[in-house]
Amino acid sequence: MKELIDKIVTDGTVLEENVLKVDSFLTHQVDPTLMSLIGKEFASRYKDKGITKIVTIESSGIAPAVFIGLELGIPVIFARKQKSLTMNKELLTAEVYSFTKQVTSEISISTKFLTEGDHVLVVDDFLANGQAALGLIELCRQAGATIEAINIVIEKSFQNGRSLLEEKGYKVDSLARIESLKDNKVTFVEE
């Protein structure tokens, strides 16, 4: 998606050879105009697929997920990383190793929001090694829901997330695919 790629080029910074900082428009401050375009783009790809729920993970998946949900007119569920006192009923849970925080946390969704018969788009801000997506897939599996696709805003194609997910039979759909962050420079996969 051209607008996203342009924004990464102008506002993104390379922290290490494998980490991109995009906190001015996606992971801390959010650019609603860009999120709205992202929502419209993904919604146009999935509008006739019978999707019933968007599933993401807090916190940076929420902004793009809400805009996709708005366009498709369906609810957005975000898996929580810490159980709230109000989440005392039945939960779907999975372990996720965080690429950026380097800790494992338990993520959960209340069983009442995701059920058998749901057709899901899994959404996240980044795809690196696929661990967050796998955790969300596990929650959907426990609910008996069907996953239509994994929608990613920024995919780092030099890491193994896509191949891991595709080997398991999931469709991965990304709006920007980064080939390399070497020498503090972002290069994109030619498509």
What's the rounded Cα separation, in Å, for the pair 140 and 26?
25
Question: Does the protein bind ligand 5GP through residue 132 (CB under 6 A)?
Answer: yes
Residue 129 is labelled as binding a ligand? yes
Q: What is the CA radius of gyration of the chain?
A: 16
Amino acid code (one letter) for 51: I
Question: Does the protein bind ligand 5GP through residue 131 (CB under 6 A)?
Answer: yes
Q: Which residue among 43, 66, 127, 147 contacts ligand 5GP (CB under 6 A)? A: 127
Question: Does the protein bind ligand 5GP through residue 64 (CB under 6 A)?
Answer: no
Per-residue contact flags (x/-) with ligand 5GP for residues 73 to 102, judged by CB under 6 A: --------------------------xx--
Structure tokens at 139: 């929650």
Q: Is residue 128 a contact partner of residue 157, using CB atoms and an 8 Å limit?
A: no
Kindly tell me which of 50 and 82 has the beta carbon lying closer to ligand 5GP. 82
Kindly tell me which of 63 and 128 has the beta carbon lying closer to ligand 5GP. 128
Question: Does the protein bind ligand 5GP through residue 20 (CB under 6 A)?
Answer: yes
32 Cβ contact list (under 8 Å, min separation 6): none
Question: Does the protein bind ligand 5GP through residue 65 (CB under 6 A)?
Answer: no
Residue 175 is labelled as binding a ligand? no
Residue 15 Cβ, how far from ligand 5GP at the closest point, in Å? 7
HSE toward the beta carbon, residue 102, CA cutoff 13 A: 1
- Which residue is associated with the tokens 């949900």? 69
Kindly tell me which of 100 and 115 has the beta carbon lying closer to ligand 5GP. 100
In degrees, rounded to 5, the angle at the alpha carbon of residue 115 between the alpha carbons of residues 96 and 174 is: 50
Q: Which residues pair with 19 in a beta bridge?
A: 16
Structure tokens at 114: 């995701």
Q: Which of 20-28, 36-44, 74-82, 112-120 is the region at the interface with ligand 5GP (rule: CB under 6 A)?
A: 20-28
Q: Is residue 46 a contact partner of residue 149, using CB atoms and an 8 Å limit?
A: yes
Structure tokens at 129: 């090694």
Q: Restricting to residues 135-164, which ones interact with ligand 5GP according to CB under 6 A? A: 156, 161
Binding region for ligand 5GP (CB under 6 A): 19-22, 27, 60, 99-100, 124-132, 156, 161
Which residue numbers belong to the known binding site? 20, 27, 128-132, 156
